[in-house]
Structure 1
Amino acid sequence: MREKRERVEAGQPVRDSAETIEVFAERWAGSTLAVSPRKESTKETYRALLRSYLYGSRLGGVTFERLKATDVEVWLSELTTKAGEPVSAATRRQAYTVLRAVLDTALRDGLVARNVAATVDRPRVNRPEERFLTPEETTQLLESARAASPRYAPILELLVRTGLRRGEALALQWRDVDLDAGTLRVRGTLARVGGGLSITEPKTEKSRRVISIGPRAVELLRARRSEQGANRAENADLWHESGLVFTTPTGTPVEPRNVLRAIGVAAKRAGLANVKVHTLRHSAASMMLGRGESLKAVSEHLGHSSIAITGDVYGALAPDVKRSAALALDSAF
């Protein structure tokens, strides 16, 4: 009675709901998640995580009134494998994040007195040291891309010359390109959502930005505009006017996964290991920092939500940059 009275006085339900976690999570996905300000691609990821790791699990069948922190811990321990395949630490962390969001809503709606997931340690993810390319390696990669994947080589070159994210480059429209001023306006990101390609909101508010580009990038985009004009004339009957800078020969958006395949082929041909699309963004950041650009300037150029992220993610610079920093410190004395 004392426990019930304390719950009532605290504005909590007298007893937690008898509804199962899975039933509520399904309703949450169709209501709270659907109207949340999260990006559509993020919502799709959350739904996929629920389908893969919560629905049909033992935890999904537990009712709120019987849910304990131990149940969540057991669920996480069982997420090390799925259908015989290992589950990455990053995926386990994402699954936990979604479960915690579901239980936060249950708490808000008065179905539970507390969110037990909040008492469980969030799965840790050890961030691997990012791979970056030296200017020489970058040149090798781009030359290889021009030979092996000429259609995607301009995309890869723009990525390394601007530090744009893959989705940002593929969502870039001509109306946001000022070649005379040498600027690009980033206003969206191309992603596959619900089985189709669509331009969604940028990753963060600071991802909306205007960046300056150099003469070589301007030249690259002028060549791209001429190439697109030739495609338009050649495929007039099939042309789809999207306004995008990078398109297929018929004007439709470029499949992001094809860019991933193209860089894999180019890296293999160039003899470069562990190179991904994001490696180009990391390389661009390392080159800017290595040539004396301030952390704040690089952070704004990359569209990070805070300068701390720039320092954390792109702090592992090339040995010659670290050597230069050491010499600068030594010369101060």
Structure 2
Amino acid sequence: MASFQRYSTKQSQMWLFKMDMGVNPQTGKRKTTTRRGFKTKKEAQIAAGKLEQELLSGTSLTNSTITFNETFAQWFSNHSKTIKPSTKKSIESKFKKHILPRFGKLKINEITRPYCQQMINEIAESIKSVNDIKIQANQVFKYAVKMDIIQKNPLEYVSIPKQQRDLINEDTHENERNYWKKDEVKRFLSITKEQLSLRDHTLFHLLIYTGARKGELLALKWDDINFETGSIRLTKTLFHNEGKFIFQTSKTRESKRLISLDTKTLSLLKKWRVEQIQANLANKGSTKESKIVFTRDDGSPMRLAYLNDKLGALIKRYKLHEVTIHGLRHTHASLLFEAGASIKEVQERLGHSDIQMTMNIYTHVTDDLKEQTAEKFQRYIEL
């Protein structure tokens, strides 16, 4: 027989049930199971009745004592061998911060769908990328089903709640804009030219003029730049892990790309190349050219967080519209659209594997582009 109990969560009152599972043949001790996360007592009673039927028919897998944490360890041991170090670090971080604190100690066969929904709702209150958290946790449950640890995936059919920040509010839309308009770009680059070193100014110029990711630019070698044809080859990215710098290949085939450079950007790169050689001569007494385009004074790779810190300081000091480093990539795409580039051209230049990623940026183009669209329609209709 099952016993039922009401308990409190951050969001509401929920129900759980406890059930005697009989004697464990390995230990000789009686074993109980607890299922929680039910909205009503009736839901808990229905689930308890179903479990009793499974026990009577011998189809239940609830004799397993394996926890979610143990299942995760099994899955990740295999999965981590198929992914890059940067992806491995990212997945570990998501599990450590959001998933294992909520699921880790629970026996995986006692995790219910209502409990999963409750946890997803809580996570959605604190972070925007809740769907990614669900995807990662789902891989562990799918592995458990495949390995016959559980019969059904409790995360299946769990929905992602609509977040309040996703609802467009005209008063807050401008503040949430994560890209710069043309006049804002000009002001920013004027500031970096006057206030920063040539290396840092060149880096920010490239972020805006190429739409490249910061890891791609910090992994650049001079061999990747063809001054004759005016192009730059992006095939790798810089990654920092456990105190070591790693140059790894780009994530997808589309990320490996050759893009054109304008004459202004080429001129700036040539100027920086000369200054870098002169700095090597002054610091090391060597005329040997650095292979890496952007380095620290001692020739080692730059910190990935350096550009974030520098951008944040400039925005605060000069009261600029707030954007992230990734927002500079969106800025490049937005201005390309304004300049008349097609969606396909922008997709190829940014290295998007999925055109939907490009379309998402396209839906957030600047007001200037929207005005141009209206003017184009007016000119056409009045001809």
Question: Normalized against structure 1, the TM-score is what?
Answer: 0.85
Aligned equivalent of 1:271: 319
Amino acid at match of 2:263: P
Amino acid at match of 1:235: N
Higher alpha-carbon deviation: 225-234 or 245-254: 225-234
| Alignment match of 2:126 (pick from 83, 87, 91) | 87
Higher alpha-carbon deviation: 209-218 or 187-196: 187-196
Aligned equivalent of 1:25: 72
* Residue 173 (structure 2) pairs with residue 134 (structure 1): no
SS at match of 1:152: helix
| Alignment match of 1:254 (pick from 302, 306, 316) | 302
Q: For residues 284 and 143 of structure 2, what CA distance do their matches in structure 1 show?
A: 52
In 2 relative to 1, CA 124–17 (structure 1 residues): closer, same or farther, beyond 3 Å? Answer: farther
Aligned equivalent of 1:171: 219
Aligned equivalent of 1:72: 116
Higher alpha-carbon deviation: 142-151 or 98-107: 142-151
Which structure shows the higher strand fraction? 2
Could you tell me how far 1:243 is from its partner in structure 2? 2.2
Aligned equivalent of 2:38: none
Higher alpha-carbon deviation: 61-70 or 209-218: 61-70
In 2 relative to 1, CA 130–58 (structure 1 residues): closer, same or farther, beyond 3 Å? Answer: closer
Where structure 2 has 5 or more consecutive residues not aligned to the other structure, the ranges are: 1-51, 167-172
Could you tell me how far 1:2 is from its partner in structure 2? 8.7
Aligned equivalent of 2:94: 49
| Alignment match of 2:157 (pick from 119, 133, 137) | 119
Larger Rg: 2
Equivalent runs, 1:200-239 vs 2, <5 Å: 200-236=248-284
Higher alpha-carbon deviation: 68-77 or 119-128: 119-128
Could you tell me how far 1:165 is from its partner in structure 2? 1.2
For residues 100-144 of structure 1, what are the alpha-carbon distances to aligned partners after superposition, in whole Å with 9 as ceiling and x for unaligned?
A: 111122222222222211221145565685432222221211121
Q: What percentage of aligned pairs have identical amino acids?
A: 26
In 2 relative to 1, CA 245–124 (structure 1 residues): closer, same or farther, beyond 3 Å? Answer: farther
In 2 relative to 1, CA 310–54 (structure 1 residues): closer, same or farther, beyond 3 Å? Answer: closer
Amino acid at match of 1:161: Y
Q: For residues 290 and 277 of structure 2, what CA distance do their matches in structure 1 show?
A: 13
Q: Report if the CA contact (8 A) 1:93-1:123 is conserved.
A: no
Where structure 1 has 5 or more consecutive residues not aligned to the other structure, the ranges are: 81-85
Aligned residues: 320
Q: Report if the CA contact (8 A) 1:240-1:252 is conserved.
A: no
Higher RCO structure (Cα 8 Å, ≥6 apart)? 1
For residues 272-331 of structure 1, what are the alpha-carbon distances to aligned partners after superposition, in whole Å with 9 as ceiling and x for unaligned?
A: 121221222112111111111111111111111122221212322222221111111222
Amino acid at match of 1:21: F
Higher alpha-carbon deviation: 97-106 or 297-306: 97-106
How much is the aligned-residue C-alpha RMSD, in angstroms? 2.9
Question: Normalized against structure 2, the TM-score is what?
Answer: 0.75
Q: Report if the CA contact (8 A) 2:277-2:288 is conserved.
A: no
Equivalent runs, 1:280-291 vs 2, <5 Å: 280-291=328-339
Amino acid at match of 2:69: E
Q: For residues 58 and 214 of structure 1, what CA distance do their matches in structure 2 show?
A: 51
Could you tell me how far 1:214 is from its partner in structure 2? 0.5
Q: Report if the CA contact (8 A) 1:89-1:123 is conserved.
A: no
Could you tell me how far 1:51 is from its partner in structure 2? 2.1
* Residue 140 (structure 2) pairs with residue 96 (structure 1): no
Q: Report if the CA contact (8 A) 2:208-2:328 is conserved.
A: yes
Equivalent runs, 1:284-323 vs 2, <5 Å: 284-323=332-371
In 2 relative to 1, CA 53–268 (structure 1 residues): closer, same or farther, beyond 3 Å? Answer: closer
